Amino acid sequence: MAEKITKETTVSLSELAVVLGITSKQVRNLAEDGIIVVNAKNTYPLARNVQAYLDFRNNKMPSEADIQFEKARRGAELKLKAAKADRAKLEADELKGTMHRAEDVKTITENILYSVRNGLTAMPGRLAVDVVQCSTAAEAYEVIKKEVHALMKEFAAYRYDPELYAEEVRKRMEWAAEGLVDDE
């Protein structure tokens, strides 16, 4: 059983040429002139193009405005598809951990700074008893220096964990899907 033809039915270049009774080259020329419409997938809306060809044959040429509108529509459609492809690539890169959103970098940086702040603010309490027991400034200096170096060594041991980051991204994406956060 043959497929029903609807307004949305599309055909290939050669199929449209057969229906219109012209060559494929003539169909291409009509498409370049804006008389025949070509979709982004190089398919041709059958009903629309048959009517356009009949209008053309009856000297009811589409206006320049119609031609410009159709070209602009096709251009906008291509830009939209390219933008969607770019966004999909960025999202894939984000999930792979090869690209980070600014807000994620901000969060990671803030976490590191909080660790530094907490380490520095805890230092006086940890050193107070040891420094009080020192009899000279040189001894106090060595106690403080030892604690500062231990703290710096702890900070230097920090390593970026891509798995931890990927888990945070997945959580944020789940929250966005549930409408709990604005993902714009």
Amino acid at 56: F
Q: Give CA–CA dist 36/22, Å, rounded.
A: 13
pTM over 0.85: no
Domain stop point among 26, 60, 92: 92
Number of separate domains in the chain: 2
Domain, as residue range, for 46: 10-92
- CATH (domain of 43): 1.10.10
Contacts of 151 (CB under 8 A, 6+ apart): 119, 120, 123
Domain stop point among 28, 62, 92: 92
Q: Give CA–CA dist 162/94, Å, rounded.
A: 11
Q: Quote the pLDDT of residue 182.
A: 55
Are 112 and 137 contained in the same domain? yes
Successive 10-residue mean pLDDT values, the chain, 184 residues = 81 93 92 87 91 83 77 91 92 77 80 87 90 92 92 83 74 71 51
Please, which residues bridge with residue 44 across strands? 11
Classify residue 138: in a domain, yes or no.
yes
Are 86 and 42 contained in the same domain? yes
Classify residue 84: in a domain, yes or no.
yes
Domain stop point among 92, 110, 132: 92
Are 73 and 32 contained in the same domain? yes
Q: Give CA–CA dist 16/10, Å, rounded.
A: 9
Handedness of CA 21, 23, 26, 27 (dihedral sign): positive
